[in-house]
C-alpha cells in the first residue's frame, strides 16, 4: 500500500474534525472521517498481507489520543525516533507500528475494530509472532482496554501473544476537561436566556468519543466495567505540569488534561499494575515523546 502523501495540515484537520464530530462524519460518509489503519513508519499496512523489510517477532503498536495523529509519537526534530523505534534499537527484534483512527467514534466500536484488526495482522505476520506490546496515549489507553475486552469476548488468538499494556496519561476515571465541557453545557442548556442555551447547545455538539472520554468508558455503560486482562503486565505513566510534585497547579490540572489519580485508575476496582511512573514537569502531549519516559519504558519492557 502507498504512503499517505496528503499535506500535513490536511491530515491534522481531519484528525481534529474527526475528534469533534467523527461519529457524525462517519454516518454521512464524509472523507474527513479518518479510517482506522495500522502504519509502519509512513506506510499503511495491509493487515491481511503485511509487507515490510525485516519484520520482527515482537509487535509494538502505539495508539494516539483524541484529535491526534500517529505523529504524536515522534520526537521533536527526530522524525524517525519513537518509543517503538527505541525499543527496537535496544532489542533488534521489535517492529514499531502505529494506529490511526477516528477518535470521535464510540470507543467500544473502535475497540472492536482494533481487536479484529490485530487478529488479522498477527495471523498474517510474515514471521511467527512471539510478543505483542500495546501503548496508548490518552484516549489510546482506553482503546487498548476496549480492544482487549472485545478480544476476550471473541476468543481472539492475538491475546495469547499480548505481554504488556502501557497507558500514558489515559483518563481511566475520565478527563477533567471533558467533564468540565459536559457540566458547562448542562448548565447553559438550563439557562433562562435563549442566547445562553444556544452556547450550551454548541458546546454540547460533542462526538460520542469525547463523551466516552469524559466518563472513562471503554464499553457501553450497561455492560459494566471490564477488568484488566489477567496474565499480562499493565503499566501506567502519569505527567504533571509543574516540576514540584506538591505545586498546587498539579492538584488542579494534573498534566493539563488528566489528573494523576485518573491516569492511575484510582476509582477502578481490582486493578493490579506492574509499574507506575510519574514525571513532574512533563505535560500531557509530551508524555508521548519524552526521553525520560523512553528510559522508563525501556527499563520496563526490555
The pLDDT, as a whole number, for residue 58 is: 98
Question: Using N-to-C axis directions, what is the helix angle for 291-301 and 83-91, rounded to 10°?
Answer: 50
pLDDT above 50 for 56: yes
286 lies in some domain: yes
pLDDT single digits (tens) 209-253: 888 888 899 998 888 889 999 999 999 999 999 999 999 999 999
How many CB atoms within 10 Å of residue 192?
A: 6
Least confident segment among 56-65, 90-99, 136-145, 194-203: 194-203
pLDDT above 60 for 187: no
DSSP 8-state code for residue 75: B
85 lies in some domain: yes
The pLDDT, as a whole number, for residue 5 is: 53
The pLDDT, as a whole number, for residue 13 is: 75
111 lies in some domain: yes
The pLDDT, as a whole number, for residue 14 is: 76
3 lies in some domain: no
Spatial distance between the Cα atoms of 300 and 302, rounded to a whole number of angstroms: 6
Domain that holds residue 286: 8-301
The pLDDT, as a whole number, for residue 180 is: 55
| 181: nearest Cα among 155, 157, 213, 221 | 213
> Domain total for the chain?
1
Spatial distance between the Cα atoms of 10 and 266, rounded to a whole number of angstroms: 38
pLDDT single digits (tens) 261-295: 999 999 998 899 999 999 999 999 999 999 999 99
1 lies in some domain: no
First-to-last alpha carbon distance for the chain, in angstroms, is: 31
pTM for this model (two decimals): 0.90
What percentage of residues in the chain have a pLDDT greater than 70? 86
217 lies in some domain: yes
Least confident segment among 9-18, 56-65, 138-147, 289-298: 9-18
283 lies in some domain: yes
What is the three-class DSSP state of 52? coil
Residue 32, CA distances (Å) to 28, 40, 158, 197 in order: 10, 22, 31, 28
Which string of b and e fits 248-262 if b means at least 16 CB within 10 Å? eebeebbbbbbbbeb
CATH number for the domain that contains residue 266: 3.40.50.1820
2 lies in some domain: no
Phi-psi map region of 100: left, alpha, beta (phi>0 left; psi -120 to 50 alpha): beta
Amino acid at each position: 500500500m502507498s504512503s499517505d502523501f496528503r499535506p500535513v495540515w490536511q491530515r491534522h484537520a481531519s484528525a481534529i474534525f474527526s475528534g469533534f464530530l467523527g461519529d457524525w462524519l462517519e454516518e454521512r460518509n464524509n472523507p474527513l472521517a479518518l479510517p482506522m489503519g495500522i502504519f509502519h513508519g509512513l506506510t499503511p499496512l495491509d493487515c491481511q498481507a503485511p509487507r515490510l523489510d525485516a519484520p520482527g517477532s515482537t509487535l509494538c503498536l502505539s495508539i494516539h489520543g483524541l484529535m491526534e495523529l500517529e505523529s504524536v509519537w515522534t520526537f521533536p526534530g527526530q522524525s524517525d525516533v519513537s518509543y517503538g523505534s527505541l525499543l527496537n534499537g535496544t532489542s533488534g527484534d521489535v517492529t514499531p507500528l502505529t494506529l490511526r483512527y477516528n477518535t470521535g467514534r464510540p470507543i467500544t466500536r473502535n475497540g472492536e475494530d482494533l481487536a479484529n484488526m490485530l487478529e488479522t495482522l498477527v495471523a498474517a505476520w510474515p514471521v511467527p509472532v512471539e510478543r505483542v506490546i500495546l501503548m496508548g496515549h490518552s484516549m489510546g489507553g482506553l482503546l487498548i482496554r476496549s480492544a482487549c475486552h472485545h478480544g476476550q469476548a471473541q476468543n481472539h488468538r492475538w491475546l495469547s501473544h499480548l505481554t504488556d499494556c502501557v497507558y500514558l496519561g489515559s483518563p481511566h476515571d475520565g478527563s477533567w476537561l471533558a467533564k468540565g465541557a459536559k457540566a458547562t453545557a448542562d448548565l447553559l442548556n438550563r439557562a433562562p436566556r435563549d442566547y445562553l442555551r444556544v452556547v450550551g447547545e454548541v458546546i454540547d455538539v460533542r462526538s460520542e468519543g469525547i463523551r466516552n472520554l469524559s466518563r472513562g468508558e471503554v464499553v457501553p455503560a450497561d455492560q459494566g466495567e471490564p477488568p484488566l486482562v489477567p496474565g499480562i503486565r499493565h503499566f501506567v505513566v502519569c505527567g504533571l505540569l509543574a516540576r514540584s510534585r506538591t505545586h498546587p497547579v498539579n492538584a488542579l490540572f494534573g498534566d493539563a488534561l488528566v489528573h494523576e489519580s485518573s491516569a492511575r485508575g484510582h476509582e477502578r476496582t481490582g486493578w493490579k499494575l506492574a509499574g507506575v511512573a510519574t514525571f513532574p514537569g512533563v505535560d500531557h502531549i509530551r508524555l508521548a515523546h519524552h526521553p525520560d519516559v523512553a528510559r522508563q519504558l525501556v527499563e520496563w519492557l526490555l
